[in-house]
Amino acid sequence: MSRKIGMWLYSNGGGDKIQEKIVKKLKEREIETITDINLRHAIAQNGHILHDKLKVDGLDLFFSYNAGEQTQYQVFLYQALNRVMPMINSYDSFALTEDKFQTSFLLRQHGIATPSFKLCHRDDTQHLQTIMKKWSRMVYKPTDGWGGVGLTKIENQATLDMLLPFLNQMDLRFFYVEKFVKYDNTDFRVDIVDGEFVGCYGRKASKTDWRTNITAGGSVFLREPDDKVIEIAKKAAKICGTDIAGVDIIYDMEKEEYVVLEVNGIPAFATPEQEKMGLNFNKKKIDLIVNMIDRKTKK
Ligand X SMILES: Nc1ncnc2c1ncn2[C@@H]1O[C@H](COP(=O)(O)OP(=O)(O)O)[C@@H](O)[C@H]1O
- Please report, as ranges, the residues that interact with ligand X according to CB under 6 A: 100, 115, 139, 145-148, 151, 178, 180-181, 187, 205, 210-213, 248, 261-262
* The entry of ligand X, Mg ion, none that residue 178 binds, CB within 5 to 8 Å by partner kind: ligand X
The interface partner of residue 212, options being Mg ion, ligand X, none and the CB cut-off 5 to 8 Å by kind, is ligand X
Residue 60 or 178 with smaller CB distance to ligand X: 178
Cα separation values, 231 from 174, 196, 247, 260, 272, Å: 32, 10, 11, 12, 28
**Shortest CB 211 distance to Mg ion, Å:** 8
Give which of ligand X, Mg ion, none residue 180 binds (C-beta under 5 to 8 Å, depending on kind).
ligand X
Rg over alpha carbons for the chain, rounded to the nearest Å, is 20
The answer to whether residues 60 and 29 touch, using CB atoms and an 8 Å cutoff, is no
Residues 6+ apart with CB under 8 A from 263: 97, 103, 107, 236, 237, 240, 242, 245, 246, 247, 248
Which C-beta is closer to Mg ion: that of 23 or that of 260?
Answer: 260
Cβ 76 to ligand X, closest distance in Å?
A: 22
Residue 115 binds which entry of ligand X, Mg ion, none, CB below 5-8 Å type-dependent: ligand X
Q: Which residue is nearest to Mg ion (CB)?
A: 248
* Residues at the interface with Mg ion (CB under 5 A): 248
Compute how many other C-beta atoms are within 10 angstroms of the C-beta atom of residue 165.
8
Smallest distance from ligand X to CB 58, Å: 35
Q: What one-character-per-residue DSSP string does 227-268 give?
A: HHHHHHHHHHHHHHT-SEEEEEEEEETTTTEEEEEEEESSPP
What residues contact 119, with CB distance under 8 A and at least 6 apart? 101, 174, 175, 176, 177
Closer CB to ligand X, 58 or 145, in the complex: 145
**CB 209 to ligand X: min, Å:** 8
Q: Name the amino acid, one letter, at 165.
A: P
Query: To the nearest whole angstrom, how small is the minimum distance from the Cβ of residue 278 to ligand X?
Result: 21
Residue nearer to ligand X on the CB measure, 139 or 293: 139
